[in-house]
Amino acid sequence: MTSYRAVIGLAGHVDHGKTLLIKALTGITTARAHEQAIGMTQDLGFAHFDDGQGNTIGVIDVPGHERYIRNMVAGLWSLDLVLLVIAADEGWMPMTGDHLRLLKAMGVPRLLVCINKCDLVTPDELLLLEESLLERVMDESGMVPDIVSVSAKTGANMAALHTAIVRQLGDMAEHHAPREQAAPRLYVDRVFTANGTGTVLTGTLQQGSLKVGDKLRLYPADREVQVRSLQAYHQSVDEIGAVCRVAVGLKKVPHKEVARGHCLTSAAGQCEAATHLIVRLCEVGGSIREQRNREVEVALGSWHGRARFVPIKDTRLARLIFASPIPCFFGQPLAIIRHGSSELLHGARIVWCGDIHPARRKTLHALLGELPDDLDRYNPATLQLGLNGYVAASRFDQRPEQVTPLGEWLLDNCWLAQSRDQLLATLASEPLSAAELATRFGIALPVIQALLQQLKSEQLIRLHHDKWQPGSGESEDDLGEEAQLVLKVVRDQGKEGYEPGKLGPGGVELDPFITRKLPAALQQGLLQKGALQKQLRNLARLKYLVQLDGPIYYDAALYNQMVAAVLAGQQVGDLIDMASFKEITGLSRKYAIPFCLRMEMDGWVRREENERRVLRLPATQDEMELA
């Protein structure tokens, strides 16, 4: 037995018998009481039937009247098959053509033409109608549909329609497993509150699977929700897979926070909440020029609303700008409708979600112009790689060509070579932090950090005072977390220096000054006897710190700056008195004397009574830093 799940829909001109046809096919009346009273479907109706092999096929009744074209799109977005219903006594109507164009725009994969009310015409008239409809559908859609003639009123030929539907869906089984394994995707078409359950949303689970207890994301709010209950075709279930109609009960989600048009998916579902889209147009109405920068209506998934339409010159692309974020996906079909009417202007596919800086638009538009016609098998991460030069490696199942893996990223080879050269040239003229480099080059901070680590591993750069600079040797980011925190504490003290003598007898108690700055886990490590002194001594050995008598610890760069200031303008053999030391360095006597002693120990000066004689001068700044 072939196992699958599918959802089909019925479209066509108003009063051509779609609702009665569903009743004949499924035994379910989809029209609500007020719709039955006026004889017109206004919103989506839902039913289902068994295909005879144990598979359930969901059915969506789509409104036929042009006023409800937006509701029609909400029913079409997830269908596996559409029955285009045409009354035998009226034949092709203007809305029949509008519906067919909409089916094509929304990318419906299978079409079955169903001629209803065949009891109202002669067999010869029916034969002529079948031939003309086949030709017209082929001309307007490029599809070659099966045609079945029935009478929903008398039941004539309904078994043949059932068979034709099941045959059309026969290839669903081979696509069933991949669709279930994908991230779940469900656009909400109804929301209500149920006693004992709370907020319930309904929709078509177009791909993936759901189970009770799942934690999912609800867009456009991008908030986490949890599945409390599931029901499919009036049966409570613990788990359900695509494609099917489903009712999902959510835990602790207020009814007012969910609306028609919202999308339920997982964190891996790659849903975007975007106010800007770039779409590729399939022209079905007026020319693109007629709609330049005007307000239109957009219908996608079960969402519809207004947008500003901005065609992109010399392309098949257009920008859609919305007042608030909408949930959307790359490659998703949508309908662009003339504002204030039911005229379908364009079918389109989303090729870019989100805004783009004006300076990068030309590059992006060129990349979008090279996209293949079939977007279903195209990985949008390829666009990100072409535009940015890098992309998360997790976005690809198979590594593309001409890229270099670096940590969690894939980098375009040309972009990598260019970026390395730019980073080295920039750092040669000005030391900068990773965050400053990320801002300057417009590169994501994690990627900049990976590039810097690569350059450091090649001994081309090192981190000094939180700034990257050319050169090899000790790099501050190689220090342990405890050492980095202690180093920061000493640097924050500036010319006051840091005196570990404040620790008390034996150095067992940690200085409250440091305690306030360290996370609890690190505090425990430094509270161990001698741990802080060990870190200080090691930092001095590595020449990050300079130890003065006391002991007092100074940042090595600060110490070297003060030494350079003292020796500036001096000649070997000159004498410097203590007052000059204090004035130049800005140190009090408490710190000036240990500072002079350290200069003596480093061989810069020699004490002669109350003065110091200059013994040598730094030849270069590098010598000053290495001293």
Answer whether 0.85 is exceeded by the pTM. Answer: no
- 137: tokens are 């559908």
* The residue type at 270: Q
Query: Is omega for the bond preceding 254 within 30 degrees of 0, making it cis?
Result: no
* The residue type at 66: E
Residue entry with tokens 């007020």: 34
The SS3 of residue 301 is: coil
Distance CA 157, CA 525 (A): 82
Pairing of strands 390-392, 344-353: unpaired
Could you give the percent of the chain with pLDDT greater than 70?
86
What pLDDT score does 508 carry?
37
**Which of 3.30.110.40, 1.10.150.20, 3.40.50.300, 2.40.30.10 is the CATH number of 272-378?**
2.40.30.10
What pLDDT score does 542 carry?
86
- 555: tokens are 């940042």
Distance CA 312, CA 280 (A): 10
- 172: tokens are 């669903």
Q: What is the 3-state secondary structure (H, E, C) of 465-513?
A: CCEEEECCCCCHHHCCHHHHHHHHHHHHHHHHCECHHHHCHHHCCCCHH
Per domain, the residue ranges of the chain are 4-171, 178-265, 272-378, 479-623
Contact 12, 85 (CB under 8 A): yes
What pLDDT score does 212 carry?
95
Q: Residue 413 CB: number of other CB atoms within 10 A?
A: 12
Distance CA 486, CA 540 (A): 12
- 305: tokens are 């609303």
What pLDDT score does 516 carry?
53
Q: CA-based Rg of the chain, rounded to a whole angstrom?
A: 36
Residue entry with tokens 């638009």: 361
Residue spans of the chain under pLDDT 50 = 1, 32-42, 64-66, 68, 285-286, 289, 503-510, 521, 527, 529, 621-622, 626-627
- 243: tokens are 């494609």
Contact 255, 199 (CB under 8 A): yes
Distance CA 259, CA 56 (A): 27
* The residue type at 31: A
Which H or E run includes 572?
none
Contact 318, 328 (CB under 8 A): no
Distance CA 260, CA 56 (A): 25
What pLDDT score does 454 carry?
95
Nearest to 153 by CA among 177, 105, 181, 120: 120
Which H or E run includes 288?
none
Phi-psi region of 606 (alpha: psi -120 to 50; beta: other; left: phi over 0): beta
Q: Which CATH class is domain 4-171?
A: alpha beta
What pLDDT score does 469 carry?
92
Domain 178-265 has CATH 2.40.30.10: yes
- 31: tokens are 């029209």
Name 321's Cβ contacts closer than 8 Å, sequence gap at least 6: 275, 276, 307, 308, 310
Is there a common fold for 272-378 and 479-623?
no
Distance CA 261, CA 448 (A): 38
Exposure pattern of 141-179 as b/e (b: 16+ CB <10 Å)? Answer: bebebebbbbbbeeebbbeebbebbbebbeebeeebeeb
Q: Where are the alpha helices (DSSP H) in 370-411?
A: 381-388
Give the number of C-alpha atoms closer than 13 A to the C-alpha of residue 491, restricted to the C-beta side: 13
CATH classification code of 479-623:
1.10.10.10
Report helix angle 578-585 to 589-601, nearest 10.
100
